[in-house]
Amino acid sequence: MPTPRTRHPFVHGALDSLPFFIVIVPFGALFGVIATEAGMNIAQVMGFSILVIAGASQLTALQLLIDNAPTVVVIVTALAVNMRMAMYSASLTPHLGANPLWKRALAAYCLYDQPFALATVEFEKRPDRSPRDKLTYFLGAGVPLGLFWYIATFLGAILGEKIPSDLGVDFAVPVTFLAVVAPMLKSLAHVAAAATSVVLVLVFSFMPYGTGLLVAAVIALVVGALVEIWTEKQRKTQ
Partner 1 sequence: MIEASTTQIWIIIIAMGLGTYIIRFSFLGLIGNRPLPSWLLRMLRFTPVAVLPGVVAPMLMGSGAESMDPLRLSCALATLVVGLITRNVLYAIIAGLGLFFGLGALLG
Least separation in angstroms between CB 162 and partner 1: 20
**158 in contact with partner 1 (CB under 8 A):** no
**130 in contact with partner 1 (CB under 8 A):** no
Q: Which of 11, 147, 158, 198 binds partner 1 (CB under 8 A)?
A: 198
Least separation in angstroms between CB 220 and partner 1: 4
Helix 113-125 vs helix 131-159: crossing angle, to nearest 10: 160
CA-closest candidate to residue 214, choices 84, 43, 85: 84
Q: Of residues 64-93, which lie at the interface with partner 1 (CB under 8 A)?
A: 65-66, 68, 71, 74-75, 78-79, 82-93
Determine whether 17 is exposed, middle or buried from the number of CB atoms within 10 Å of its CB (0-12, 13-18, 19+).
Answer: buried
Least separation in angstroms between CB 59 and partner 1: 12
**175 in contact with partner 1 (CB under 8 A):** yes
DSSP state letters, 39-73: T--HHHHHHIIIII--HHHHHHHHHHHHTT--HHH
Piece of the chain touching partner 1 by CB under 8 A; list 2-10, 24-32, 114-122, 150-158: 114-122
Q: Which of 148, 151, 165, 177 binds partner 1 (CB under 8 A)?
A: 177
CA-closest candidate to residue 111, choices 81, 67, 76, 146: 146
**104 in contact with partner 1 (CB under 8 A):** yes
Size of the site for partner 1 (CB under 8 A): 92
**98 in contact with partner 1 (CB under 8 A):** yes
Piece of the chain touching partner 1 by CB under 8 A; list 2-10, 145-153, 157-165, 173-181: 173-181
CA-closest candidate to residue 12, choices 178, 101, 125, 147: 125
